[in-house]
Amino acid sequence: MTGLRVGIVGLGAQMQENLLPTLLQMPDIRIVAVCDSDRTRAEQINRFVSNVMITDSFDEMLASARLDAVVMACPPQAHRDLSFKAMAKGVHVFVEKPPCFTLDELEALITASNDAKVVTGVGMNFKFAKPMQQLRKMTSTEQFGQTVHVQLNHYASKPTSPLWGLDSTLRSFLLAQAIHTIDLGVTFGGGELRDIESRVQRHGDSLLVSLELQFTTGASVSLLSGTLFPYFEFDMKIVSSNSMMVELNNLWNITMHEPEHGTSATGTAKRWRGAWQPGPLDSGYERSGYFGELEKFFHAVRTNTAFEASFESLRATYKVIESICDAAEQNLALSA
Ligand code: NAD
């Protein structure tokens, strides 16, 4: 199948700044229709592409644009509701994160996607960011050994009030921000989740969330996140059974610490380390994962295979989110 017919939904900031420019770089993708509930927004597509159907009605787009796939960047309730409609018509679906609000809603989306036999995808771009792909390669080598522990620090300063009509700032934060980091913890932890422990501290409108995960592989994941920080930062360390430690700073540069450094020029002296950075000429979309996620999603559509960041892949992440929210509610009830 060449020249996939794609409809885009929600021409807001994320679509215009990241997803649309990435889609326009893909030779086999034809953007044939645009839908935004705000029609003047939808009309902004004329700045980027011509000869496109423009509508504020998703039903109209589905009925007449003969789509292979839709790519959406809307609020989660639209991702959820419009995904059901698209899947029922056999249209493949890619939505920005988060795809929905709760684990129950995610289960319903998974069931619908299995029934419709469509490929689903969620914009978990951190997972496809170039340094993260490099990290995944490094940690899957025999020399690195088994992942024993993953430490994740995801510092954020927002949201400090509920989003998308929700009544919980905590759930909004977990769905808007921590979803990326929890998903990385689940990905690098490997195997099945065995145990989840969490603690939420509230300071004014800000939150501090600490999380410990145990996996059937024996690996543990420790995550510190929240909105109490001055600005966004993301760091990660992975420790292996061979006493290697690999460190990712700010989703950018990787440092590999080994008991013995492999470069002969350094001799036998201890405490040398190896460093990796993305190439200075790599495109921003490639580095930040938008190109990788969409390229792999459309590859899955063409080959009728599952995409790694499918609705189903987020089941464990949503279990963790529900567990954090439940534990925080019980704590609030106990302290009331
Ligand atoms: P935005 O408000 O700028 O854009 C959303 C657009 O969707 C608006 O134009 C709105 O009119 C439209 N819309 C709303 N409901 C609709 C419906 N039912 N049908 C059609 N159009 C509808 O928001 P944004 O900042 O672009 O965020 C959009 C999504 O992208 C959010 O889910 C957000 O979490 C996600 N996002 C992801 C990342 C990331 O790191 N991957 C970064 C930023 C935003």
CA distance 211 to 127: 19
Residue nearest to atom 16 of ligand 1 (CA): 37
Mind listing the pLDDT tens digit for each residue in 147-201? 999 999 999 999 999 999 999 999 999 999 999 999 999 999 998 999 999 999 9
Q: How many angstroms separate the alpha carbon of residue 164 from the centre of ligand 1?
A: 10
Atom of ligand 1 nearest to the CA of 290: 41
What residues contact residue 259 under an 8 Å CB cut-off, 6+ apart?
Answer: 242, 243, 244
| Minimum CA distance residue for ligand 1 atom 14 | 74
The pair of structure tokens assigned to 250 is 């700010």
> Which residues of the chain, if any, have pLDDT below 50?
1
Looking at the DSSP bridge assignments, the partners of residue 93 are 70, 120
For 292, other C-beta atoms within 10 Å of its C-beta total 20
First to last CA, the chain: 59
- Which of 8, 11, 14, 128 for mutating ligand 1's site (highest number of atoms within 8 Å of CB)? 14
Instruction: Say what the ipTM of the complex is.
Output: 0.99
State the closest ligand 1 atom to the C-alpha of 35, by its place in the atom list counted from 1. Answer: 20
Q: What local confidence, expressed as pLDDT, does residue 271 receive?
A: 82
Output the ligand 1 site: residues, CB below 6 A.
9-15, 35-38, 41, 58, 73-76, 78, 96-97, 123, 125, 176
Whole-angstrom distance, CA of residue 261 vs CA of residue 144: 13
